[in-house]
Amino acid sequence: QLAGLAVIAFGLWLRFGGVMADFASDKKSPEYFFMGLYVLVGAGALMTTVGFFGCCGAARESQCLLGAFFACLLVIFAAEVTAGVFAFIGKKVAIQEAQKIYEDTYDDYMKNPGGKVNRTIYHYHLALQCCGKDNMEQQTGLPCPENIQMPKASNCLVEIQNVIDANLHLVGIVGIAIAGITV
C-alpha cells in the first residue's frame, strides 16, 4: 500500500509539479506526452487498492482473495514495466514533441509579440531558465526572465531536451524499480 501511494505521489508530482507541468500548460500539448505518467499513477492506485485487499485476504486466510491479489499484482507488474519501458523508448518522441510545441509558441510570439502567447513563452523561459532558440535571438525582444543563468540562457530547445531526458529517465527507473519490488 505504501509503495502504491509513493508511486501515485511521484507520478502526480512529475505531471503537475515542477518543470514538466509547464509543458502541459499549453493547449497544444499532445496527450500521449504524459502517457507513461498516467500509467504510473494508475498502477499506483491499483497497487494501493490491491494491497488493502491482500492484507484482508491474508488476515482472513481466504484463498480466493489471495488468488485475486496475485492476479492483480501481475496486472500491476505489467503496467509498471510498460510505463518504465515507454519512458525509455518514447523519450526521443517526447523531446521532439515538446521542442515542436516550443517552436510553434515561439513562432506565434514572433508573429504577434503583444498577444496572449507572450505569457506562455515567458512561462517557458522562466521554467526552463532559458531564452530563445539561439544566442542571436536573445536580442530580439523576447520576454526573458531577468535572473536566468547565462550559460543556460542561450537555447531553450537544449533545455527542453535536458529536462525531459532527466524526468523520463526517472519515470523509467521508478516504474521498473517498483515492478521489481512487486515481484
Domains of the chain and any CATH numbers: 91-182 (1.10.1450)
Smallest CA-to-CA distance from 125 within 141, 10, 115, 114 is with: 141
29/102 Cα distance (integer angstroms): 10
What is the average per-residue pLDDT within 95-112? 83
The identity of residue 7, as a single letter, is V
Residue 158: per-residue pLDDT: 85
Mean pLDDT of 28-49: 72
Q: Name which residue leads in pLDDT, 43 or 150.
A: 43
Instruction: Name the residue among 38, 47, 49 with its Cα closest to residue 12.
Output: 38
CB atoms within 10 A of CB 114: 7
Rounded to an integer, the average pLDDT of 145-161 is: 70
Residue 133 predicted with pLDDT over 50: yes
Name the pLDDT band for 151 (thresholds 50, 70, 90): low
pLDDT > 70 fraction of the chain, expressed in percent and rounded: 77
Is the pLDDT assigned to residue 2 strictly greater than 80?
A: yes
Contact predicate 14/112, CB 8 Å: no
pLDDT of 21: 62
Instruction: Output the CA torsion 10→14→19→23 (10° steps).
Output: -170
Gap between the Cα atoms of 115 and 108, Å rounded: 9
Q: At 177, is the pLDDT very low, low, confident or very high (cuts 50, 70, 90)? A: confident
